[in-house]
Structure formats: C-alpha cells, structure tokens
Amino acid sequence: MDFTKIIRDIPDFPEKGIMFRDITTVFMDAEPLKAAIDAVCEHLKNVEFDLILGPESRGFIFGVPAAYVLNKGFIPVRKAGKLPHDVVSKSYELEYGKATIEIHKDAIKPGQKVAIVDDLLATGGTCKAICELVEEMGGEVVSMSFFIELLALGGKDVLAGYDINSVVKY
C-alpha cells in the first residue's frame, strides 16, 4: 500500500516552515490501518525479543496492536509524572529545552530484549533516551520499527548501531 497517498500533508504546522505528516488519515479506514500495523510488525517478525516499548502518545497507537499481533507485552514510555508507580527517569535535550521520559521501575528485567515501536523517527532524541534508559535498567534494545522516518532530520545517525526499520520515508 502506498501510504504517501493517504498521509495528509499539512504545511506550516505546528509552525511556519514545517511540513506536518498527518497520519490520522491512515487510521480512518480499516484497510490502511491494518496495513500500517502489519507493515510496522513485518520487520519485527524475524527479531527475537521479549517486550515492545512505545513512547507516548502515538507510540501507543502502533505499539499496543503490534504487541498484540506479535504476542508480546507492551511497556508504555511516558512523560514525567504520568505513571502511577515507582519509575526510572531519563532527561534529554530537545531543540528548545529539556524533556524527561519515565518507565515503571519493574517493567524491564535485566537481560530482557526489547523492541521500540513508534509512529515517527525524526531527530532520534527521544528514542536515544529510551535506549539509554533500557540499557541502564539492564535490558537490550534489539530493534526499532517506525511508521514514518524523516530522513533529512538524521535520526538514524543518532541511533547508529541499532537495528532500525521504517515503513514510509520522506
């Protein structure tokens, strides 16, 4: 399926000069939604891992159904202050400021292999922080699967050394 014909381009959002790739149009009909989830899962079918991690919020949209299809557990990666139990945190730099992500302290056991599933690979900053957090917890990031990759932003370079798959590339 050619998702570029379904994804809606919105110029100058959220600010002037940005071309926003709106994936909500993919979710509006069952056939492209199923095809998108299947495409994100395809690469992971040949990877040995225990859990899928998905960063909020659109990583949940792809991560939970991928976990269901692949018969794996799902771990939400949230912004600071959103998880109800004991957490481990990782702060990282954004273009303008800092952000902090959190995972429940008991979500990843030492030696577990994880795959990260998200809607978008842009600069790679969030996924790099997730990888560092997983590794600090004793886990291993064995693969990442994204629906869209924005090539010009160099996220793959930031994540060099990791197995990365993207369905749609701009």
Catalytic residue among 42, 48, 95, 135: 95
- Tell me if the bond preceding 55 is cis, omega within 30° of 0: no
Q: For residue 72, what are the CA distances in angstroms to 5, 32, 123?
A: 31, 23, 27
- On whether the CB atoms of residues 27 and 33 are closer than 8 A, the answer is yes
The radius of gyration of the chain's CA atoms, rounded to the nearest angstrom, is 16
- CA 49/CA 116 separation, integer angstroms: 10
Q: Quick one: tokens of 47?
A: 């990877």
Helices 58-70 & 30-44, crossing angle to 10 degrees? 70
Which residue in the list 56, 58, 132, 140 is annotated as catalytic? 58
User: In the annotation, is 21 catalytic?
Assistant: no
Has 58 been annotated as catalytic? yes
Exposure letters 130-153 (e unless 16+ CB within 10 A, then b):
bbebbeebebebbbbbbbbbbeeb
φ/ψ of 111, rounded to 5, equals 95, -15
Q: Which residues are catalytic?
A: 58, 95
